[in-house]
């Protein structure tokens, strides 16, 4: 980690409360910084607010109070399209359920964020998608639909999709939750390799992973533990 670098994601006193009549606090008083090149694990019991924290970091949700800065930009007041653009350019998501589009092949799923970015031509997008799928050992499966792939293969396609636009931060919500041990190990290795890689911006990519798996968390560079929506010391 570069101590002089500025955080990629910086949460300041962020809280998220849902409900109108009956209010439920998902997370509160969140002060978290994600630095370039970090591999961070978020742990905690079920319902503790791990995923809610990740969704706030990933601009999928807005804090009720506090602020989330992405690359130094305050995001709460941004409109939805600007937040979507920031997600597209800066962040890559991997969910517990692969969430691949069922009608698209593995290659087309990986190309989807590139299409939205509209920086590469059809050949360039196809080449980049094939490179990513090859890096993840899926070169033989590029043409297959998600239903023709195993759970581990689907999750690797989802990782390739998350890496498609060369994001500065990968946010993964229980990415190994539905995988066997061998596939989980494979996914973890990919994340660790990805953390070391430099993005087009020249900074080390950060990976933030939500997990129940304490063995996996122990292999991260830093661990954030949440109980009842608050960060607690380990």
Partner 1 sequence: MYAVVGAILLVASFGTFNIISTITHEKTRDIAIMKSLGLRQGVVLRIFVLEAFIIGVLGVIAGWVLGYAMTWALGLIEFKSPFMDADRLPVLYSPLHYAMAGAVGLGASLFAGYFPARKAAAVQPVDIIRGAS
Q: Using CB under 8 A as the criterion, which residues of the chain lie in contact with partner 1 when the complex forms?
A: 51, 55, 58, 60-61, 80-81, 84-89, 91, 93, 95-97, 99, 101-102, 112-113, 116-117, 161, 165, 173-174
Element containing residue 17 per DSSP (H, E): strand 9-18
Judged by CB, which is closer to partner 1: 165, or 194?
165
Distances (CA, A) of 13 to 42, 51, 52, 150, 163: 17, 17, 14, 41, 29
Ordered DSSP codes for 29-95 = EEEEEE-TT-EEEEE-STTSSHHHHHHHHTTSS--SEEEEEETTEE-TTS-HHHHHHHHHHHEEEE-
Min dist CB 1 to partner 1, Å, is: 26
Judged by CB, which is closer to partner 1: 156, or 161?
161
Min dist CB 234 to partner 1, Å, is: 25
Judged by CB, which is closer to partner 1: 73, or 101?
101
> Angle 192-198-202 (CA atoms, 0-180°, nearest 5)?
150
Min dist CB 85 to partner 1, Å, is: 7
Judged by CB, which is closer to partner 1: 39, or 55?
55
Min dist CB 3 to partner 1, Å, is: 30
Lookup: tokens for 49: 């607010």
């Amino acid at each position: 980690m570069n101590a002089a670098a500025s955080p990629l994601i910086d949460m300041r006193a962020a809280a998220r409360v849902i409900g109108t009549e009956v209010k439920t606090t998902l997370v509160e008083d969140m002060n978290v910084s994600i630095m370039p090149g970090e591999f961070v694990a978020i742990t905690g019991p079920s319902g503790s607010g791990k995923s809610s924290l990740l969704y706030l970091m990933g601009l999928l949700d807005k804090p009720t109070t506090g602020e989330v800065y992405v690359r130094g930009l305050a995001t709460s007041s941004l409109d939805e399209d600007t937040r979507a653009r920031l997600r597209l350019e800066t962040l890559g998501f991997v969910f517990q359920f692969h969430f691949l589009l069922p009608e698209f092949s593995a290659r087309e799923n990986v190309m989807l964020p590139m299409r939205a970015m509209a920086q590469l031509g059809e050949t360039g997008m196809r080449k980049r998608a094939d490179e990513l799928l090859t890096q993840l050992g899926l070169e033989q499966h590029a043409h297959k639909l998600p239903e023709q792939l195993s759970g581990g293969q689907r999750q690797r396609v989802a990782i390739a999709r998350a890496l498609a636009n060369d994001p500065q931060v990968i946010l993964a919500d229980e990415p190994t939750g539905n995988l066997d041990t061998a596939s989980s190990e494979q996914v973890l290795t990919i994340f660790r390799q990805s953390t070391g890689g430099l993005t087009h911006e020249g900074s080390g990519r950060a990976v933030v992973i939500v997990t129940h798996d304490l063995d996996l968390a122990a292999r991260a560079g830093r661990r954030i533990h949440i109980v009842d929506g608050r960060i607690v010391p380990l």
